[in-house]
Structure 1
């Protein structure tokens, strides 16, 4: 049943993808009927390593492995997933690139900016999140869930670089609650789940599009804290969101890059 839901969601997402060119400019496409019981290609969920990013502060090393384990233990998705740590020099074959930060300086060189730009412009999907580890006291996650924090500012400045998305890197908008991201596998009619942050702050994800397709998703909600901490309470909602994110990324990769 879950396998059929996945196939249905995949085909629906492909059909609903925005047109990147005029209808008469698109080539004829032939989509092969999925083979029952056949395992798909390997899909790579990559966690980005960059200079000055500190494990446990700017990135959670267990986030990707724990999400993949959740998929294997709690869904019947018949897909082969592999988690890897990658640098900006290793962006080939990635289904979903995950980047997080807290206080680290984003010192990304010119060649790496060009590599990231090519990745996004060729159809890659980047999920970036401003994260916080669990602390002590009343405000245990500090300023998580707020805009204008160091990683928030640095990342949004980075994607405006002419070698990445240029002017398109400033056209942020909220991900609407009826977006395919929130129905690609689990039904999330209320949008993203509550993250590890103080209540009453940011409640939506943001996105950038390139040629009519989502290229970057950004979160201030600290959702991946729950992926990366096996001892955290109430992990399931954030992990279910992670499953939706993976299925959404797989559908985009199956569709191929936007037409130029």
Structure 2
């Protein structure tokens, strides 16, 4: 029997990882069941970034509003996890490009992978066609279109590639809050806005 997919949220010593996107994991898991045949664990699992348990999962989610400052053990695990083939989806809940989370997380990535590791992802990247098609790149969020944050619609995501494969997907678009609602409310949307989330999860599993 295939191992059920587990949505892993990373806890880290700095910041406010536990104060964001409470309903988002269940929403994405519902979409994974709705559109695919991937078996899922119905509840998210919180794993400490400095724990060896991290290496038992192919996908992890990291988010927050505040400072990101890894301890030595967290930095070592994050770097090794990604280099070993793990996938981390990182979402800035401030939906900006110069806030504390953005600046501090990007600094951590420079420390882990070098100053040029975090790069813009082209619209032709496979993550935009993994399951659903997004020919224009990352879909916009309501927070961008409503003029929150830095009043900027980001037409790209960033990432870190290891041996030709995306290991870190980094968003300033605040997808976590965009998808933070009870999955039963999707029926009120003209278009299911979690479809790109399905692409992200399937890419991590590919």
TM-score relative to the length of structure 1:
0.67
1:93 matched to 2:56? The reply is yes
Aligned pair partner of 1:195 in 141, 156, 163: 141
- Which residue in the other structure is 1:79 paired with? 38
Compared CA separation, residues 207 and 46, structure 1 to 2 (3 A) = same
SS at match of 2:40: strand
Contact persistence 1:156–1:170 (CA under 8 A): no
Match of 2:198 in 1: 243
Q: Take 2:61 and 2:142, find their aligned partners in 1: how far apart are those partners? A: 18
Describe the shift of the 1:99–1:54 C-alpha distance in structure 2 as closer, same or farther (beyond 3 A): closer
Q: Which of 70, 73, 86 is the aligned partner of 1:111?
A: 73
Structure 1: where are the runs of 5+ without partners?
Answer: 1-38, 133-143, 252-260
Q: What is the match of residue 214 of structure 1?
A: 166
Mapped partners of 1:208, 1:227: distance in 2: 23
Please tell me whether the aligned partners of residues 48 and 97 of structure 1 are also in contact (alpha carbons under 8 angstroms).
Answer: yes
| TM-fit CA distance, 1:249 | 0.7
* Number of residue-to-residue matches in the alignment: 192
Shift of 1:236: 4.9
The answer to whether the aligner puts 1:62 opposite 2:6 as a matched pair is no
Return the alpha-carbon distance in structure 2 between the equivalents of residues 235 and 246 of structure 1: 22
Local SS of the residue matching 2:9: strand
2:120 pairs with 174, 178, 181, which one?
A: 174
Q: Would you identify which runs of 4 or more consecutive aligned residues in structure 1 move more than 6 Å?
A: none
**Shift, 1:224, TM fit:** 1.7
For the residues of structure 1 that align with 2:79 and 2:24, how far apart are their CA atoms? 25
Q: 1:129 to 1:54 in 2, by over 3 A?
A: closer
Mapped contact 2:144–2:173 kept (Cα < 8 A)? no
- How many Å separate the matches in 1 of 2:138 and 2:118? 17
> 1:234/1:151 Cα in 2 relative to 1: closer, same or farther (>3 Å)?
farther
CA distance in 1, matches of 2:172, 2:204: 20
Q: Distance in 2 between matches of 1:55 and 1:122?
A: 26
Q: Does 1:160 align with 2:110?
A: yes
Runs (5+) with no aligned partner, structure 2: 146-151
Which of 1 and 2 has greater Rg? 1
What is residue 10 of structure 2 aligned with on the other side?
Answer: 48
TM-score by length of 2: 0.83
